[in-house]
A and B are shown apart, each in its own frame.
Chain A
Amino acid sequence: MQPTNRVQPGDRAPRTAVRQKVLALAIGLFVLVGSRASAAQETPPRGNSCVSCHSTQLDQRLVNPTRLFGGQDVHREKGFECVDCHGGSPASPDKASAHDASGRIAAMAFRGKPAGQALIATCARCHSDAELMRSYAPKQRVDQATEYAASVHGKRLAAGDTKVATCASCHGAHGIRLVSDARSPVFPTNVAGTCATCHADEKRMAGYTLADGSPLPTHQFNDYRTSIHYNALTKGNDLAAPTCNDCHGNHGAAPPNVGAVANVCGTCHAVFAQKFAASVHQPIFDKGCVECHNNHAVVKPSDQMLSAAAPGVCQPCHNGDDKTDKGAAAAGGMRAGMERLKDEIDRSGALLAGLQNAGIAVSDQQLALREAGSKLTLARTEMHGFDPALVAPILGDGMKIVAAVDRAGQAGRAELSFRRRGLFLSLGAILIFVVALGLKVRQIDRRDHERQAPSATV
């Protein structure tokens, strides 16, 4: 990479064509080098005084950047060098001229290790430049700096809090990997751990408060690790399962507003959010979905949750012992209906399994039973409208399907009994034949014995 290609403030198209050719050449070389490329990546880039000087320092803080940048780093792979972020003159052989901060020697004045707003500006110089980014990652957004400015992190930084996270806090400074790289700290499975670096650190979080003035908790990461979301993401390999940034935003990270929780959850759970929005609870539940499902520790929902008695989630507001509590009665009614349908489906499923193993055709009934299962799922979804009148017809449809399956199952059982009766009769016939054969054998033996007896006496 030639110094003339350096990105300059205000230089919005830094000889893009030349850079593209160099990039193409670099990619070509990578392909040619093949398996040796990875080994080559482990060695620091050569030919500039930043690397040659820093890699020989005794202080590891000065060596590490060359080591990390010389390894796998998306910027180095695209042809960027130390000078693109730090400025200075890599062609100069001595420390003073290489670190020229006046701009007289270097094309870009040496700026050392950017931090705080300077770091945001350094990254934004390219990442907020739509024209430039199009050359490298055309689909990548260019509003990260704007989003960051609107985030809690950005606002605090603007207010002078230097402890808050900036770009390098999450992405790293050197050895930066693509988000799609599983080893990147911002790869979906690593995001929570990356956020927890600060947010699970009690000492670091000391002094920060929530909107209501209470101390900012640090148990979110531990809570999240008990959730179904974490389980799906890390054990189920479902990269679409949410992690911190999916609810809080990434560059614009902030807690969802109290009234917006349902919208956040509704991003994925759209139908539930829709039912909830029309429900009697919508105006009452300050925290929306979180009221019943928790926020970070979202456990797998179960029918047991729908109850005004422990361990149900209706109990803090509704009292199962109070017969006049309509809410408790509604929850109990819906729960009982769902449990009944579930039990019936299980019972019919067991009946069909037994019949199938016995050789009775039940594939149509199994299909119907799956439809009954869909009705149960539908009822569980409709329940989020908290209106028993809407849930009951769905459960009723499910019960009708199970009843039809049962009728067919009973017919199958009758067929099985018929077969067994038939075989029982066959067994009877065989037994009669065996007895007859036994008598015949005895008769033949007796005849032979009588035939031999006179000759023996002779």
Chain B
Amino acid sequence: MNVIDWVDERLDLTEVRHFVAEKGVPVHAQKIWYYLGGMTLFLFGVQVFTGILLLLYYRPSAAEAYESVQFIVTQVQFGWLIRNVHSWSANLLIGLAFAHFFSVFFLKSYRKPRELTWVSGMLLLFLMLGFGFSGYLLPWNELSFFATKVGTGIAGAVPVIGHFSLRLLRSGDDVTGATLSRFYGLHVAVLPAIASALVALHLLFVQRQGMSVPPAVEKRLKPGERLPQMPFFPNYILRDVLAWYVVIAVLAALAAFYPWELGTKADPFAVVPPGIRPEWYFLAMFHTLKLVPSHVLGIEGERLGVVVFGIAALFLVLVPFVDRRASRGESSRFFTVLAAAGLIYLVTFTIIGHYAK
């Protein structure tokens, strides 16, 4: 009697067996995009694992944060590897999350009945950005300190609740040790709790509804014809594992050959160093805000920019409900063009923002 039989005898795994035997993944030319979600999920797991290891030595105070990270990378056995993997994995995770977002957007996978899957995914994307923003400050180095000052300052431009949100984020009027404690709490407790729940919900939706087939592929099917299916176990899951291994290889190579710099310790009284900019995934937004004139139609430029970004984010969350044509199974060229424009904007402004002085 093997372990599964032993458990089956006690818990009756008939339903699970049935699910495993029946679950299939549609096979078509666009199926490559299905792997992005799994890779993102895998990196989320890497972040949880390496984050917990870092927690064992990290000290969340202005006096000790930098030194504790320095201790991790220089004194702790394989601490350098864990920290480098955590930093690189965070960036790959956000990159893959964006790729997953755009693939779903272009393939119109958000259409009925998957509206809630899309909404939970969008919220997860925002949470990942929150993880990045809060985690960036934790090493308490010069770049992260001043970038957080700029970032939280942008939050202060939100109309009505701007000053409140700035104080809420900073735990005061300025970025101090209290901000570090707050960001630490957010990064290791609040955000992971919400993200875990949302990931579970997102996966549940995906399992319940199965993989979405792009409308273009569906249209090519003859009446009564069904797409060939690939068994999820083991055919698809093995491919997923293969993709994860590729991700591990990329992570290991980056961690070994491009160690994540620690920089110099933050000095709140120092002059702001030149070239302060946020992490790459905020660069497009940051550069756009820099380009907005100080006043537009009598409204403060930065405030207007923040409002426009807020509306855009809300619009993205509500896309499945706005794109009625896609929900009826019809072609919705407008949203395809919108996704393309968004992608071009993000890439262009990120590059310009990177090289801008």
**Partner-B contacts on A (CB < 8 A):** 356-363, 419-420, 423-424, 426-427, 430-431, 433-434, 437-438, 440-441, 444-445, 448
Given contacts A359-B83, A441-B235, A448-B231, contact A430 B73 (CB under 8 A): no
In the complex, what residue of chain A is closest to B262 when comparing beta carbons? Answer: A357
- A357 surroundings in chain B (CB, below 8 A): 259, 261-262
CB distance from B143 to the nearest CB of A (A): 13
In the complex, what residue of chain A is closest to B239 when comparing beta carbons? Answer: A441
Q: Bound complex: CA of A13 vs CA of B250, how far in Å?
A: 89
Q: Does B256 contact A (CB under 8 A)?
A: yes
- A358 surroundings in chain B (CB, below 8 A): 80, 259
Q: Bound complex: CA of A103 vs CA of B219, how far in Å?
A: 120
Asked if B245 contacts A420 (CB within 8 A), the reply is no
Q: Bound complex: CA of A440 vs CA of B74, how far in Å?
A: 41
- B355 surroundings in chain A (CB, below 8 A): none
Asked if B74 contacts A356 (CB within 8 A), the reply is yes
Q: Bound complex: CA of A423 vs CA of B73, how far in Å?
A: 16
Q: A360-B80, A444-B238 are in contact. List 4 more A-B contacts (CB 8 A).
A: A357-B262, A358-B259, A359-B84, A427-B249
CB distance from B20 to the nearest CB of A (A): 15
Residue-wise, chain B 60-87 has the 8 Å CB interface mask toward A (1 for contact) of 0000000000000111000111011000
Asked if B74 contacts A427 (CB within 8 A), the reply is no
Describe B's contact surface by its main secondary structure: helix
List B124-181 residues whose CB lies under 8 Å from chain A.
none
Q: Does B246 contact A (CB under 8 A)?
A: yes
- A433 surroundings in chain B (CB, below 8 A): 245
- B242 surroundings in chain A (CB, below 8 A): 434, 437-438, 441
Q: Which of A361, A427, A448 meets B252, CB within 8 Å? A: A427
- A441 surroundings in chain B (CB, below 8 A): 235, 238-239, 242
Residue-wise, chain B 37-79 has the 8 Å CB interface mask toward A (1 for contact) of 0000000000000000000000000000000000001110001
Q: Does B185 contact A (CB under 8 A)?
A: no
Given contacts A357-B262, A359-B83, A430-B245, contact A437 B238 (CB under 8 A): yes
In the complex, what residue of chain B is closest to A433 when comparing beta carbons? Answer: B245
Asked if B257 contacts A420 (CB within 8 A), the reply is yes
Q: Bound complex: CA of A171 vs CA of B79, how far in Å?
A: 64
- A360 surroundings in chain B (CB, below 8 A): 74, 80
- B97 surroundings in chain A (CB, below 8 A): none
Asked if B74 contacts A419 (CB within 8 A), the reply is no
In the complex, what residue of chain A is closest to B75 when comparing beta carbons? Answer: A361
Query: What total of chain B residues lie within 8 Å of the partner, measured CB to CB?
Result: 27
CB distance from B233 to the nearest CB of A (A): 10
CB distance from B124 to the nearest CB of A (A): 27
Asked if A426 contacts B252 (CB within 8 A), the reply is yes
Given contacts A441-B238, A448-B235, contact A419 B256 (CB under 8 A): yes
Given contacts A420-B256, A427-B249, A437-B242, contact A444 B235 (CB under 8 A): yes
Q: Bound complex: CA of A283 vs CA of B26, how far in Å?
A: 97
Asked if B238 contacts A440 (CB within 8 A), the reply is yes
In the complex, what residue of chain A is closest to B242 when comparing beta carbons? Answer: A437
In the complex, what residue of chain B is closest to A359 when comparing beta carbons? Answer: B80
Q: List 7 A-B contacts (CB under 8 A).
A: A356-B262, A359-B73, A359-B259, A423-B253, A430-B249, A440-B238, A445-B235
The 8 closest A-B CB pairs, nearest first, are: A359-B80, A361-B74, A423-B256, A359-B73, A358-B259, A430-B249, A437-B242, A434-B245
CB distance from A453 to the nearest CB of B (A): 13
Q: Bound complex: CA of A359 vs CA of B256, how far in Å?
A: 10
List B217-234 residues whose CB lies under 8 Å from chain A.
231, 234
Q: Does B283 contact A (CB under 8 A)?
A: no
Q: Bound complex: CA of A448 vs CA of B253, how far in Å?
A: 35
Q: Does B241 contact A (CB under 8 A)?
A: yes
Q: Bound complex: CA of A358 vs CA of B259, how far in Å?
A: 5
CB distance from B71 to the nearest CB of A (A): 9
CB distance from B55 to the nearest CB of A (A): 18
In the complex, what residue of chain A is closest to B248 when comparing beta carbons? Answer: A430
Asked if A423 contacts B74 (CB within 8 A), the reply is no
Q: Bound complex: CA of A282 vs CA of B252, how far in Å?
A: 64
Asked if B74 contacts A359 (CB within 8 A), the reply is yes
- B36 surroundings in chain A (CB, below 8 A): none
- A445 surroundings in chain B (CB, below 8 A): 235
CB distance from B138 to the nearest CB of A (A): 17
CB distance from B239 to the nearest CB of A (A): 6
- A362 surroundings in chain B (CB, below 8 A): 74
- B79 surroundings in chain A (CB, below 8 A): 359
CB distance from A180 to the nearest CB of B (A): 24
CB distance from B287 to the nearest CB of A (A): 27
In the complex, what residue of chain B is closest to A362 when comparing beta carbons? Answer: B74
Q: Does B255 contact A (CB under 8 A)?
A: yes
In the complex, what residue of chain B is closest to A440 when comparing beta carbons? Answer: B238
- A420 surroundings in chain B (CB, below 8 A): 256-257
- A363 surroundings in chain B (CB, below 8 A): 74
